[in-house]
Amino acid sequence: MQNYWQNALTFEEYLKVAEERFHNNPDNNDEHQEYYELGLTRTNRTLKTYKVDGDQLANFKSKDFHGKILIISEPWCGDASATVPAVSKFFEAAGNEVKIIMGARNEGLIIMEDEMKAIADELIVCTDDGSYGRKALVTEPLKELCETWKPDLVVAIGPPVMMKFCTLTTRPFNIPTVVSLNTIMVDGTGMCGGCRVSINGKTKFVCVDGPEFDGFAVDWDNMMLRLGTFKAQEQEAHHRCHIGLHIQEGDA
């Protein structure tokens, strides 16, 4: 498992592989090709526009933190595309070592198999359905890493249920865990109130007070309940929004 960490991709390598996969996808019928393109566009836009805030950086540096950062994410996720580059750039500017690991639902969403094989003594790939590699959720290797590698900070970005269980995994080890709650935002202006979450029992707006929060302080059940409020309407809108894009129900 230590080899797995030592041989993880840097953010630059990850980007190169994602570009390569999009431009030379060996699967001509890959239904996720559009997502790769969307993800890359967002990532590159964030890379171009994100500027490390001087005050935030100075504040962070004053804490004299020199640990290793573990980011758990999913390559197809639009939120991750926007967030991971910013997180990576920030910690890089602060002089920290940053490594990224990813989990996927199934074989079709794994985009770095060859590259990982080339650099790892032992390649461990997790898919939820076991269609490739180890049948496990990301929390399984996360727990093992908490026991053996002991990261100083975990950043989880992806579906709320994944982030919830990441925090349940890291809590017994007392490893600070930052989560990104932007999936609940609607207009992102502080006006609609749709992004209300409960943090340590207090109501916060994700778009105003976040979107990153201490994962241990989030009321996950409340957030997931609220996320499901307009499920029926979302499903109907999903159909209308994606007419002509050939995106199947359940893929977005």
* Shortest distance (Å) from residue 208 CB to ligand FES: 6
Longest dimension (CA), the chain: 51
The candidate with the shortest Cα–Cα distance to 73, out of 163, 197, 169, is 163
How many of the other CB atoms lie within 10 Å of CB of 146?
Answer: 20
Q: Contact with ligand FES (CB under 6 A): which of 112, 207, 218, 223?
A: 207
Q: Contact with ligand FES (CB under 6 A): which of 190, 214, 234, 236?
A: 190
Judged by beta carbon, residue 98 or residue 157, the one nearer ligand FES is 157
Asked whether position 82 contacts ligand FES by CB under 6 A, the answer is no
Judged by beta carbon, residue 68 or residue 196, the one nearer ligand FES is 196
Judged by beta carbon, residue 141 or residue 210, the one nearer ligand FES is 210
* Shortest distance (Å) from residue 27 CB to ligand FES: 36
For residue 102, give the 3-state DSSP assignment. strand
* Shortest distance (Å) from residue 199 CB to ligand FES: 14
Q: Which stretch binds ligand FES (CB under 6 A): 118-126, 149-157, 192-200, 228-236?
A: 192-200
CA angle at 67 for the pair 91 and 212, rounded to the nearest 5°: 50
DSSP string of 123-176, one letter each residue:
---EETT-SSSEE--THHHHHHHHHHT--SEEEE-S-HHHHHHHHHHHGGGT--
**Cis peptide leading into 26, omega within 30 of 0?**
no
How many residues contact ligand FES, by CB under 6 A? 14
Convert residues 140-179 into a mask of x (bound to ligand FES by CB under 6 A) and - (unbound).
----------------------------------------
Q: How far apart are CA 70 and CA 65, in angstroms?
A: 14
Judged by beta carbon, residue 205 or residue 213, the one nearer ligand FES is 205
Binding site for ligand FES (CB under 6 A): 185-195, 205-207
